[in-house]
Amino acid sequence: MRKFLSALVILVVSSSAFAGHHKMGDHKDIVDTAASNPMFSTLVAAVKAGGLVDTLKGDGPFTVFAPTNDAFAALPAGTLEMLLKPENKDTLVQILTYHVVAGKVAAKDVVSLSSATTVEGSDVTVDAGMGKVKINNANVVKADVMAENGVIHVIDAVLLPADVAAAL
């Protein structure tokens, strides 16, 4: 879980740092975009532990709600370590895929949604009121970090499917 969160955080930070600084020759996929930013190190580690690197390097397109390292650090003590254990890989994958929506959903499209179905199969709620966008209880702190195979929206909390949240 923490690896996933770290990886997601790295993805978000990398996107923020490089947003607006892309050159015509830059072609980074979602994983490379996240890995290039230390803010997403936990997310990238989680993606690796979950065996999702090849999937997220695929054609997509994907929309990733990427938690920062700080978002992962805010999980209850021991949660991330527990999720990164090999015996908890299925739960880690469930959490990580709950952060991914099939297709490229840019900020201009997100604001018109009330929910979105994740790759995990459950819906996340979208609240675009008062000039801010929330995905469940997470704030989107940076939107539209573009990657070759999709888009990353940086969030300040880890999203947990209801059954996982109840078990933690």
Contact 95, 83 (CB under 8 A): yes
More confident residue, 23 or 29: 29
Fold of 2-158: FAS1 domain (2.30.180)
Contacts of 117 (CB under 8 A, 6+ apart): 101, 123
User: Does pLDDT of 13 surpass 90?
Assistant: no
Question: For 50-104, what is each residue's pLDDT tens digit?
Answer: 999 999 999 999 999 999 999 999 999 999 999 999 999 999 999 999 999 999 9
**pTM given for the model:** 0.82
Domain boundaries, the chain: 2-158
**What are 145's strand-pairing partners?**
152
Write out the two tokens for 116.
């979105």
Contact 8, 68 (CB under 8 A): yes
Distance CA 2, CA 92 (A): 9
Alpha-carbon 76 to chain mean position: 19
Cis (ω within 30 of 0) for the bond into 76?
no
Question: For 115-163, what is each residue's pLDDT tens digit?
Answer: 999 999 999 999 998 889 999 999 999 999 999 999 999 999 999 999 9
- DSSP conformational letter for 18: H
